[in-house]
Structure 1
Amino acid sequence: MHEMSIAMAVVGQVEEAAGAGGAGAVTTVRLEVGELAGVVPDALAFCFELACAGTVLEGAALVTETVAARARCGSCGHAWPTGMPPELCCPGCARATDVELLTGRELRILTVEWDDGPAGPAPAAARPREPISEEA
């Protein structure tokens, strides 16, 4: 499952930023995930929790924001939501040869929130008991 490699990459980047910023504990990581990015949000949340164990992110909340896929026809200029699976034939002129995907492939860290101070494990009461997920 590639969600684990994504979670580990996010944790690594956030750890680096948190260390440079003098963070004691990361409390929230907000991600933007495109509808066509091939990421299952619940699987990512589960993997994120595992990847955070023993790091400054332990106990951090993961908030995912889904970005709907949109395309634009280069021939007629019509833009439309592609849906999932994506419909890449222009509903305006029925062409599929000059279509540009505008949104839907995003996978980026939007914001990170942390507490200042010396790093240490999150108290047991602050650790989530179930994987954290954000419904789209």
Structure 2
Amino acid sequence: MDARRDVFQAIADPTRRAIIGMIAQKPVNVNTIAEQFDVSRQAISLHLKILAECGLLNIKQLGRERLCEAKLEKLNEVHEWVAQYHKLWTGRLHALKNFVEQEALQPRQANTDNKKKTKNIHKPKK
């Protein structure tokens, strides 16, 4: 296994993400996978090899068939990485929402204060 390969490399390619989607529910024959893409079987074999090296699938030989079976536990790494940024951005968006809501209230208060001042300025002196 290439030490540089990880789950992030696996999901970086749309073809590999599509393959993961195909095998997530049940094992799928390599030929069936290859038929779904407009690329060579050699290219699909390389994608499958990368997915296997990243620990996202097993290829089992059953007679003449090679079945690809998903091992999606490794996707937890992606989930955990994304979750930290989700938490960060959710917090920032809530802070922005609160700021905008406060700013939306302030002009009304400022306009009310300005109207009071304006009324006082235009009162005739006695």
**TM-score under structure 2 normalisation?**
0.29
Ranked by relative contact order (alpha carbons within 8 Å, sequence separation 6 or more), the top structure is 1
Quick check: which one's strand share is greater? Answer: 1
Q: Which has the larger radius of gyration?
A: 2
Q: TM-score, normalised by structure 1?
A: 0.27
